[in-house]
Amino acid sequence: MNFNTELFGRTPEGEEVSLYTLTSAKGLRARITNYGAILVSLEVPDRHGKLDDITLGFDNLDGYLGKHPYFGATVGRYANRIGNARFVLGGVEYKLAANNGPNHLHGGIKGFDKVVWKTLEATAAEDRAWVKLTYLSKDGEEGYPGNLRCTVTYTLTNDDELRLDYEAETDKKTVLNLTNHTYWNLRGQGSGEVLGHELLLHATRFTVVDKGLIPTGITASVVDTPLDFLSPRTLGARIRQLRNGYDHNFILSGPANTLKPCARVHEPTSGRILEIATTEPGVQLYTGNFLDGSIIGKGGKSYGKHAGFCLETQHYPDSPNKPNFPTTVLDPGKKFTSTTVHKFSAK
């Protein structure tokens, strides 16, 4: 295993931004930047050993500094949506930015994806290489209470795994929901639609949402619906039965706060397989419904509708306003931890 550090560029304010390259003995190569704690690229071999970058994104920092749909980003303070951009905690109402219609999305105007994280570690051992990044979200930032110290550690292993470990602590009661927003295309970024990818999801239920994609508080069975991936099905098999594509939170089977199977994705052309395990209670499946070809990504590739899919391991949307959902409250003196593992293979 080895790692390399290079200058990725500077922000408009002059902050230096680094790019870290982690390489496994088997040739997997992950590139991470401390701007937004973003996964810039991940090169994985196909069944013939050919490496391709399987994540959507940009070749340089300028792309990430501009407007984009959270390519590869670490998302917070609260990933996904909070209804009416408000919540009540400890009897106090907190008002957030309404940046998704009347609702709050992915941490607001300047979420964790748009700040420079501090690098704590970037190194390699015999069996793994990792980079550990940290960010202090100050009390009142984007409307959230508490000084919140977050860390995310990207680890690439010789077992062909990319592991993400999150930790957070606060000095005031707050809410927290962290995820990674990578857009995957196992055939290779820029290679067209992902609707031929075969997905297995370890989820028997999902959270029902209203027209604004805010949960109603009701959960329902996926069986006999287009959301049934209990046996492998292509993403495109029933996508036309939905209004615009998949953008749904699935409730994962298995015990809370333990690493459990989440999903398995197989791309038949390349033979690549992605298996995800997580400690989180849910996962958001999103099929790049709002990509329209206007974004030019890596290698000059245009990203059209369904050019990538996301499997965002997370707590449920709008949990701060849904007391029947698993809590996203973090108290002072407590430590938030979360782990998601992506394992790659080919057949």
How many residues appear in the chain?
347
Dist CA 261 CA 339 (whole Å):
12
Counting DSSP H helices and E strands in the chain, the numbers are 1, 29
Partner residues linked to 207 by β-bridges: 219
Query: In the block, which residue shows the tokens 């791309």?
Result: 267
Cβ atoms of 215 and 250 closer than 8 Å: no
Cβ atoms of 152 and 165 closer than 8 Å: yes
Dist CA 152 CA 220 (whole Å):
32
The catalytic position among 43, 68, 312, 315 is 312
Is 312 considered catalytic here? yes
φ, ψ of residue 39 to 5 degrees: the values are: -80, 105
What does the angle CA 197 – CA 201 – CA 206 come to, to the nearest 5 degrees? 120
Buried b (16+ CB within 10 A) or exposed e, 295-314: bebbeebebeebbbbbbbbb
- What token pair was written down for 227? 């959301």
Dist CA 296 CA 63 (whole Å):
9
The catalytic position among 68, 106, 181, 306 is 181
DSSP codes of every residue in 265-327: EE-TTT-EEEEEEESSSEEEEE--TT--S-EE-GGG-EE-TTS-BEEEEESPTTGGG-TTSPP
Cβ atoms of 321 and 259 closer than 8 Å: no
Dist CA 72 CA 84 (whole Å):
26
Amino acid residing at 19? L
Which residue numbers are catalytic? 181, 312
